[in-house]
A and B are shown apart, each in its own frame.
Chain A
């Protein structure tokens, strides 16, 4: 019997920033399998972004093994070959959009993958169309609104047709409308993804499992009991019992 193939498999990963004794990631294990959609809710500074960067080979762990698409990642060269198949959406879209126009930016990845100019342009146009961004195709990226920048950055990642997506706080600073658009887009995608967010509602809408992080380790579904409730009553801000 064949188990569902794993796209990302981390075992016993530990990571500490240079000059620090504290392990941001501490003997961490994590798997993301085909078709899985995992949400990651955890406090600031718990190492979520570091985790993503470690998966992509941007940060070198102190110990542990990383397996991407079934292949062990040992050297930076191993990561180079596999990296383009996993799309990482950065927290700040300005970090990601550096080409002059939206079309240029979305085509940047496909061109790096070795597509011909014509193919790259077509792939980019297709992705731009799928995300409903055709209207701003030739716009200059730095003049876009925050929401548009985020969607263009997502288009840039999706244009590479990745096998998995890692989204680092994709909803930060977005208004309700863009958030709604983002939820629809993510739900229409048939690829594995892992999403870092602080917003429970959003995570709940787009993922099947919710994990958390504590002391540099992942806490899985069974250990996490995330819940949120809002209520209004006349006691206002004064201490009260339920």
Chain B
């Protein structure tokens, strides 16, 4: 995830402007989340799969992104059908599986997989810097955008610091065990990490002030929206809008 491997590919999706991709992914995922009919969810799924295909991602990579979600989905499949009330479709002793529960599980599974596919195809194919740029240009709150970028930038520095501290502890014979000494050592490490991170933050801020920072961020325009980007935004928005209308007015295909 942190290595942004999906961002360094070449495809039609990668050529799209960041703003276009963020807007499209937002509309498509909201549309998916607001739908309840399986025929419409099926269409959203097809759209998301088409986007993944266009982004020329391998199934292996997509599966890697889906795996954590599937664990969550498995948990839902275990608990929901058993605990949901309604028409019973299968019974063994006191174990009752309800139709409504199974239907809800299928809906959740389809929705979450679809939304994740949309995000994998459109958002995960950008570097965090590009996402930050897109959010900034979309007038997303500056502080939040900046928080995202700074977190991403310094998480490496803090990770390296953590490894340095842990290595220093190991070189002095520290082997983590289930005892108070180990817990205390880890608490010291965590504490030291906080101290260092806060000093780091202070130095970074000072360096920014030295370069004339006065609380407002200005960025270079690296990307420009072109015709294809507008077309893509319109297509995705229309797709989500029309399908929502179908759902709302109970129009069947």
- The chain A residues found within 8 Å of chain B, CB to CB, are 53, 56, 58, 80, 83-84, 87-88, 90, 92, 94-96, 98-101, 103-104, 107-109, 111-113, 117, 120-121, 124, 140-142, 156-157, 160
Contact = CB atoms under 8 A, between A and B. Distances in A.
Given A90-B203, A98-B150, A160-B211, 18 more contacts: A56-B210, A58-B209, A58-B210, A83-B212, A96-B204, A98-B153, A98-B204, A100-B132, A100-B133, A103-B220, A104-B129, A107-B220, A108-B211, A111-B219, A121-B220, A124-B220, A141-B153, A142-B153
B17 to A, nearest CB: 16
Nearest to B208: A98
A113 B157 CA distance: 28
Contacts of B149: 98-100
Interface string B149-165: 11001101100000000
Interface in B61-83: none
Contacts of B204: 95-96, 98
Given A53-B206, A120-B220, A140 B211 contact: no
A157 B220 contact: no
The interface residues of chain B, by DSSP majority, are classed as: helix
B210 A83 contact: yes
B205 to A, nearest CB: 9
Interface residues of B, number: 28
Closest 8 CB pairs of A and B: A100-B129, A112-B212, A111-B218, A95-B203, A109-B211, A84-B212, A96-B207, A88-B210
B231 to A, nearest CB: 26
Nearest to B204: A95
Given A98-B150, A140-B129, A112 B214 contact: yes
Given A111-B218, A142-B157, A157 B132 contact: no
